[in-house]
Amino acid sequence: MQHFLGMITESNLDLGKRQIIWKSRLASIILLAEKGLDFSKILTPIIQEINVLVADLKNEHSLPLLRTFVEALQDILDCNDRITSSHCLLFGKWISRYLADCQCTDASRLLDIILIVINRLRNQLYDPFIADFQENLWNILAPYLRSKSCDDSIIYQTADIGFGLSILSLNTNNSHEHFKEMFNIFVLSETIDIRLTRRFLFQMIQNNMFPQSVINYNKFIIKAWIKCLTLSSDRNHTEVINLTNYVASLPSLLSERLMADKSDPLLHLFSIFANKYKNSQDTMTKIKLRDDVASLFEDMDRWMKPIVKMPKSQEQISRLYFVVGNMVHTIPFLLYVKSKPNSIIKMTLDVLLLPISAHNPEFKLHPFIITAVTSTLHFFIEGLIQLGPRQDPYISRTIRELITIYLPRCVGKPGSINASSAGSFSLVHSIKDDNETSKIVLETINIVMIKKKAKTPHMHCSQSLKFLSDILTLNCHDANVVTTLIKHSMDFVCDVVMFCEDGNMCKRQARDFTHKILNCDVVRLADQPGAEIMLVFSRLCREYLAFSSRQLFELFYDMLAHGPDLIARFMPILLNHVKEVENKRGVGYDRSLRMGVEKLELALKSVKN
């Protein structure tokens, strides 16, 4: 039959008829395989034609006929539990070309079949042809696996194939080189998809394969685990749980056991490091711990860079910023040494938050990154503040850059489609009582984004005023937060009300903010907010009463309708400030100032009535 089929000129036939001929020829091979007979003679001309087909994959018949052959491979393998020398002929150089150009589903199908072959070969290690055949498979598949390590399309079988080939090489000739190469591709590569990394590691754990030929093997496994949990949003995946359990069993840097059953083991690891550092009284122990921890995170910037450069998933980007933010928040003292140029914190921030492009106001950040930063920026800023920005110029500058770059982008202008809701920007929740975080954030906004005595406000003044308003909206019943806002921000907001040109959005926002402050119940129910407002009014008088009295009195008039009781409370103090100005001028009576006070008193009486 093979003779007669060989006499047919296939090139003149349509695809359907050609497929019938191919299936007939392959059926003959299956019959011989079922009987355990050699089928190499029949197979050789078919393989020759296969090589012709893969050389011309643009031909419309090539891929369908190759699929027919691949489907038959499974049937041929099912005829016998062992791999014979005839089977070896089925897997030749055509595979690499086919895998390079076929669809993912076709590649997955062929790789499943090759995986069956590899698993069978592991049970036939002493057959004479096995060593040559496995080396042939390696030469065919290794280039494909290397190329897929940085490919966008994910084929999970590549990790299984890579592991299978490396363990086969170990078992046949005790060579560790193939394993090292696959370990580099699937575990240490900076561009490999994390799902392939965890799949490869899962196979290693399942097969209890931990070669000591890889130096610092346990350290690499822990670093790979950190990478997996940093980028894997599904922490309940079987492979992730399996890997976490294995890492928890390793003799490692930890003085206490990593709890694999924690809801987020990676955050638990950060807590362990933090507690170990804080509980240590010995300086050398702390230095050693810092060095050990740094060695685990030293490569983070390399594998984060391609992910941030080309974001593919909101879930993955959000998880990345959440984990790294928590790391900076929990163990900043282990990630930074003052005056050290390449600290973990600096390298990490340069990738995630402060690349050169982020300093360009015209540069549009990816929406995935904006969303992630909006929910996590407070972690980074609160962590950096623990490092003492008032004593460290680099930390101070970094905090200032983070606020000035991301507050406008995360808050958005009021009324725009990018405007955030009151509680969506995480930094809003960092402003609590009069703590260091509140002081530094509000001081930065005042210095950078709100210009004093400016008719035209700073380009980001509107966003900063919305940020302050959002804080007040969420905390209008909290006396501590309201007092903090009055103490650190109200002077600057009042300045905008006084000097910003009429009709500007910022002037309207600033007025609304002052009205909202004055209308807060806690201003009257608690002593501190009201007292702080008196101090703000006094500071404004000292700064503006002498030379900008018109704007100052207009500010007080504007506040009358919302806080007449507060204005009335301030009137005696205002009169004292007027007298101070008169004394400095060497006059007993300044007509313009006295007229301003009298008009304010009349307006106050009319409001009360």
Residue 429 sits in a domain whose CATH number is 1.25.10
Mean pLDDT across 67-92: 88
The answer on pLDDT for 508 being more than 70 is yes
Ranking 39-53, 138-152, 270-284, 414-428 by mean pLDDT, the lowest is 414-428
Mean pLDDT across 188-193: 86
Query: CB neighbours (10 Å) of residue 395?
Result: 21
pLDDT tens digit string along 394-412?
Answer: 999 999 999 999 999 999 7
Q: Do 393 and 490 fall within a single domain?
A: no
Q: Do 443 and 390 fall within a single domain?
A: no
Mean pLDDT across 82-88: 86
Q: Do 436 and 480 fall within a single domain?
A: yes
Which residues have a Cβ under 8 Å from the Cβ of 201 and sit 6 or more positions away?
A: 187, 221, 224, 225, 228, 239, 243
pLDDT tens digit string along 155-187?
Answer: 888 999 999 888 887 776 656 788 888 888 888
The verdict on residue 173 lying in a domain is no
The verdict on residue 499 lying in a domain is yes
pLDDT score recorded for residue 418: 58
Q: Decide: helix, strand or coil at residue 62.
A: helix
| Domains of the chain: total | 2
pLDDT score recorded for residue 179: 84
Q: Domain end: 359, 380, 411, which one?
A: 411
Eight-class DSSP state of 609: -
The verdict on residue 523 lying in a domain is yes
pLDDT score recorded for residue 235: 75
Residue 21: CA atoms inside 13 Å, Cβ hemisphere, count? Answer: 20
The answer on pLDDT for 71 being more than 80 is yes
d(CA 5, CA 22): 9
pLDDT band at 385 (very low <50, low <70, confident <90, very high): very high
Let me know the angle formed at the C-alpha of 236 by 235 and 237, rounded to the nearest 5 degrees. Answer: 95
Please report which residue ranges of 353-458 form alpha helices under DSSP H.
Answer: 367-385, 393-411, 436-449
Of 36 and 509, more confident: 509
The verdict on residue 485 lying in a domain is yes
The verdict on residue 123 lying in a domain is no
pLDDT band at 609 (very low <50, low <70, confident <90, very high): low
The verdict on residue 455 lying in a domain is yes
Q: Do 430 and 510 fall within a single domain?
A: yes
Structure tokens at 182: 């696959």
pLDDT score recorded for residue 210: 65
Q: Do 320 and 351 fall within a single domain?
A: yes
The verdict on residue 38 lying in a domain is no
The H-or-E segment that residue 505 falls in is: helix 505-519
Q: Is 311 exposed, middle or buried (0-12, 13-18, 19+ CB in 10 A)?
A: middle
Expressed as residue numbers, the domain containing 510 is 419-609
Between the ranges 314-328, 348-362, 588-602, where is the mean pLDDT highest? 314-328
Between the ranges 106-120, 232-246, 367-381, where is the mean pLDDT highest? 367-381
Of 106 and 423, more confident: 106
Q: In one letter, which amino acid is 51?
A: N
pLDDT band at 440 (very low <50, low <70, confident <90, very high): very high
Between the ranges 73-82, 107-116, 323-332, where is the mean pLDDT highest? 323-332
pLDDT score recorded for residue 305: 94
pLDDT band at 4 (very low <50, low <70, confident <90, very high): very low
Between the ranges 18-22, 82-86, 400-404, where is the mean pLDDT highest? 400-404
Q: Do 327 and 476 fall within a single domain?
A: no
Please report which residue ranges of 232-313 form alpha helices under DSSP H.
Answer: 238-248, 265-279, 283-297, 300-309
Of 536 and 22, more confident: 536
The answer on pLDDT for 419 being more than 60 is no
Whether 148 and 155 have beta carbons less than 8 Å apart is answered as yes
The verdict on residue 342 lying in a domain is yes
Q: Do 386 and 492 fall within a single domain?
A: no
Q: Do 259 and 406 fall within a single domain?
A: yes
Mean pLDDT across 352-371: 91
Angle between helices 461-475 and 479-499 (to 10 degrees): 150
Q: Do 426 and 393 fall within a single domain?
A: no
Average pLDDT value over all residues in the chain: 87
Q: Do 451 and 519 fall within a single domain?
A: yes
Q: Do 338 and 471 fall within a single domain?
A: no
Ranking 4-18, 228-242, 265-279, 500-514 by mean pLDDT, the lowest is 4-18
Residue 19: CA atoms inside 13 Å, Cβ hemisphere, count? Answer: 15
pLDDT score recorded for residue 253: 54
pLDDT tens digit string along 206-265?
Answer: 887 766 656 677 888 889 999 999 998 777 788 888 888 888 887 765 555 666 667 888
pLDDT tens digit string along 455-500?
Answer: 999 999 999 999 999 999 999 999 999 999 999 999 999 999 999 9
d(CA 324, CA 327): 5
Q: Do 354 and 445 fall within a single domain?
A: no
